[in-house]
Structure 1
Amino acid sequence: MTGPDAPATLHATGLGFRYRARGGWTLRDCEFTVPSGRITALVGRNGAGKSTLLHLAGGLLRPRWGEIRVLDAAPGTPEARARVALLTQDKPLYPRFTVADTLRMGEKLNSRWDQAAAERTVREGGMPLTARVGELSPGQRTRVALALALGRRPELLLLDEPMADLDPVARGEIMAALMAEAAERGTSIVLSSHVLPELEQTCDWVLLLRNGRVELSNDVDALRENHALLTGHAGQADTLAAQHTVVQRRTSGRQMTALVRQRGPLRGDWHVERPSLENILVGYLQDGDTVRSAAAERTEAVA
């Protein structure tokens, strides 16, 4: 079910998780909603909690605090398992199985199995069904794992760094397949990735984690529209911070460059550019002269 009345793809309230052996919180006080039918970029630096969040959504982990819902169901329940597919970084497959054996296993385990979709994903990678999984390249194994996920015909597809071991051509092909899946079947996709330029062309929602907290959960077009890259005299810094949310600023001599989230018209003598999605994401992720207040961060996290 898609459209304005469809349940949210993901919804979290006060979500927190920590691994007992590590001590500190991996995720803390996470509040966000991702609408249905979106291709969502899950972004964050290493250790920000991306994999943990996907494992919570996929039912492999349980929250230590708060709640997360997938398609208005509790992760890990029979209802959620039938509608959600998770592709983890380790992509567990049986190395002695052939590709055909692997797809046959998928068919046996899933009542909504789509053999044609699974085989198409495999064949587009140029590998025969008779090949053994253990003899495939890492990129080919990724395709087989993705074929298993797509063959289930999920309503929500969770992908944890699925293209880290693919070459640029293969990444483009996989991204095209995911976009087609979303367009043709209304599948919601949450994609964790460090390849920011590719996300710009495919994703229409951003969920950004920073230090275990959700810093952004926003529509991509809205992000581009309400952010600006400014260059001007450093003496305008205080006035700018009073009027807008300064995501990041850098000063060199008397000149300042700043990424801001606008709270109204821009005032002052500035050279203004509209940033790319990559500019915005890097600005939030970088360690620099950041002047956001804690209150502003909490407001943006649930905006």
Structure 2
Amino acid sequence: MNALETTGLGMRHRRTWALRDCSVAVPAGRVAALVGPNGAGKTTLLRLTVGLLTPTTGQVRVFGRPVRESGERMAFVAQNKPLYPGFRVSEMLRFGRGLNPRRWDDAAARRRLAELGIPLDRRVGRLSGGQRTQVALTVALAKRPDLLVLDEPLADLDPLARDDVTRGLMGAVAETGLTVLLSSHVVSELEGVCDWLVVVNGGRVQVSGDIDDLMARHSLLTGPSDTAGALAARLPTVSRGGTGRQATLLVRDAAPPPDPRWSARPVTLEEMVLAYLRAPDAAALPRPALSPAP
């Protein structure tokens, strides 16, 4: 089953489309990265996913049900980590329990904070940035969601705090099997963390699929510049670059080039993502197979 499905999803603010014709599926149990430049529509898509915005067009389904029926199965942590700075950590837990009485796991939340060394009597405003992120994540996880949605969870954290938060998130995924959708514009943060990729650019979905499969379907070709144009015309080329006499082509679903002057190698995740972001008109991969309406 898909944890998240959007079909023909669009969001318009007056005359401007923040998101348009977005059809994407994220299978249950995956850790999905939502990647794109600032202003691409990532936050809009996340807010539509959790029901904070009403779409102009299309629909969202969570585990096969309309988003309005799925609130208890989702948890959302916004980029600004909306915690009350004057509350003690224990008061944040009590506040979370009051909002989510049916599924709240207070014991798990307290155990997680104890393992992280975050005192329950400390006021939120006196915590470090990494600690505040961990508290926000703990409150979200204590809801026992089936889908956890995170908007730029690692933004503004130092490298050590990023590592701590990432480890905590992956531990929660391993323990509970929940589905995670997290946004980021820093691709290096996602390597080894996510196994599903959605690239949004200019309010549209360019790429969506299993990361290993996507990388296997792309390759980087290197060869003489004077033959690059002809080769690019014959291959499904995503982007073209290079300097001087040497050119590079990032291609999809292509056999090894017949010209021995050209060599091919696998792409990295960052190379693939950046190639699409630099070519917003590049043909998107096939649309996902969506489940029938219940």
Normalising by structure 1, report the TM-score: 0.88
**2-side partners of 1:209 and 1:301: how far apart?**
14
Q: Secondary structure at the match of 2:144?
A: coil
1:44 counterpart residue number? 36
Q: Note if contact 2:148-2:180 (Cα within 8 Å) is conserved in structure 1.
A: yes
Q: 1:120 to 1:240 in 2, by over 3 A?
A: farther
1:140 counterpart residue number? 131
Match of 1:101 among 85, 91, 94: 91
**2-side partners of 1:258 and 1:298: how far apart?**
17
Q: Tell me whether 1:273 sits opposite 2:275 in the alignment.
A: no
1:129 counterpart residue number? 120
Q: Tell me whether 1:117 sits opposite 2:103 in the alignment.
A: no
Q: Note if contact 1:160-1:193 (Cα within 8 Å) is conserved in structure 2.
A: yes
Q: Note if contact 2:75-2:148 (Cα within 8 Å) is conserved in structure 1.
A: yes
Q: Note if contact 2:257-2:263 (Cα within 8 Å) is conserved in structure 1.
A: no
2:5 counterpart residue number? 11
Q: Secondary structure at the match of 1:283?
A: helix
Q: Tell me whether 1:32 sits opposite 2:24 in the alignment.
A: yes
1:165 counterpart residue number? 156
Identity of aligned residues (%): 49
Q: Secondary structure at the match of 1:281?
A: helix
Q: 1:283 to 1:299 in 2, by over 3 A?
A: closer
Shifted more, 33-42 versus 170-179: the winner is 170-179
Shift of residue 178, structure 1, vs aligned partner: 1.8
Q: Note if contact 1:214-1:301 (Cα within 8 Å) is conserved in structure 2.
A: no
**2-side partners of 1:123 and 1:226: how far apart?**
44
2:292 counterpart residue number? none
Q: Note if contact 1:122-1:147 (Cα within 8 Å) is conserved in structure 2.
A: yes
Task: Give CA-to-partner distance per residue, 1:94-122, whole Å, 9 cap, x none.
Answer: 22211001111212222111123322443
Q: 1:63 to 1:82 in 2, by over 3 A?
A: same
Q: Note if contact 1:32-1:301 (Cα within 8 Å) is conserved in structure 2.
A: yes
Q: Tell me whether 1:182 sits opposite 2:173 in the alignment.
A: yes
Query: Which runs of no fewer than 5 residues in structure 2 stay unpaired?
Result: 290-294
Q: Tell me whether 1:297 sits opposite 2:289 in the alignment.
A: no
Task: Give CA-to-partner distance per residue, 1:6-62, whole Å, 9 cap, x none.
Answer: 3x1211111110223xx3101011111111110001000000000000000011001
Q: Tell me whether 1:82 sits opposite 2:72 in the alignment.
A: yes
Aligned length: 287
Q: Tell me whether 1:194 sits opposite 2:185 in the alignment.
A: yes
Q: Secondary structure at the match of 2:98?
A: helix
**2-side partners of 1:238 and 1:302: how far apart?**
31
Query: Which runs of no fewer than 5 residues in structure 1 stay unpaired?
Result: 1-5
Q: 1:258 to 1:109 in 2, by over 3 A?
A: same
**2-side partners of 1:233 and 1:67: how far apart?**
47
Q: Secondary structure at the match of 1:112?
A: coil
Map 1:61-80 → 2, pairs under 5 A: 61-75=53-67, 77=68, 79-80=69-70
Shifted more, 189-198 versus 155-164: the winner is 189-198
Q: What letter corresponds to residue 80 of structure 2 in structure 1?
A: D
**2-side partners of 1:251 and 1:106: how far apart?**
53
Structure 1 outlier segments of 4+, above 6 Å: none
Q: Tell me whether 1:57 sits opposite 2:58 in the alignment.
A: no
Q: Note if contact 1:121-1:146 (Cα within 8 Å) is conserved in structure 2.
A: no
Match of 1:221 among 204, 212, 217: 212
Map 1:225-240 → 2, pairs under 5 A: 225-240=216-231
Q: What letter corresponds to residue 189 of structure 1 in structure 2?
A: V
Task: Give CA-to-partner distance per residue, 1:81-104, whole Å, 9 cap, x none.
Answer: 110001111222222211001111
Task: Give CA-to-partner distance per residue, 1:122-172, whole Å, 9 cap, x none.
Answer: 334432100111222332221111111011110000000011132212211
**2-side partners of 1:281 and 1:119: how far apart?**
38
Normalising by structure 2, report the TM-score: 0.91
Shift of residue 69, structure 1, vs aligned partner: 1.3
**2-side partners of 1:125 and 1:168: how far apart?**
17
**2-side partners of 1:135 and 1:178: how far apart?**
23
Q: Note if contact 1:215-1:301 (Cα within 8 Å) is conserved in structure 2.
A: no
